[in-house]
Amino acid sequence: MEEEVKIRYEPFKELVIMQCTRFSTIEELARFTAIIAGGKPSGLYWAEGVAFLYFPLTATTDAAAKELIENRRVYWTFLSYAPMPTYKPQVEIKEKIIIPVINLSSNKFFKKVAQWLKEQIK
């Protein structure tokens, strides 16, 4: 007899951003992305007219795991962003480096993040 699999969706309740940096142009953000990645492949995320890059706090400590599981709270140690009104699948900077951009506008969580970032731009 096969056990029935239950699937439940429980989105995060809260996002805590510990550091946040705004760049005035997508090119500046893309250049920063290329530098911070140290030559390794890296990309940007896009939703609601904003491009961004984030670094999550990994849930490797008991405290972080507890926050994630019990409180559905996630921490990003660093977030950088720039206005990008129209989605483009890539940004090329003057150093001829191409940074891919992933459209996350179908994800409710990232849409909320982008909406919050747009409020910060004003």
The answer, yes or no, to whether residue 83 has pLDDT greater than 80, is: yes
**pLDDT band, very low/low/confident/very high, at 122 (cuts 50, 70, 90):** low
Contacts of 86 (CB under 8 A, 6+ apart): 49
Sorted by where each begins, the domain ranges of the chain are 14-121
In tens, the pLDDT along 38-79 reads 666 689 999 999 999 999 988 787 877 888 888 899 999 999
The answer, yes or no, to whether residue 95 has pLDDT greater than 90, is: no
Query: How far, in Å, CA of 55 to CA of 97, rounded?
Result: 21
Q: What is the pTM of this model?
A: 0.86
For CA atoms 110, 45, 9, 66, give the dihedral sign.
negative
Q: Which residue has the higher pLDDT, 52 or 97?
A: 52
Query: How far, in Å, CA of 96 to CA of 122, rounded?
Result: 31
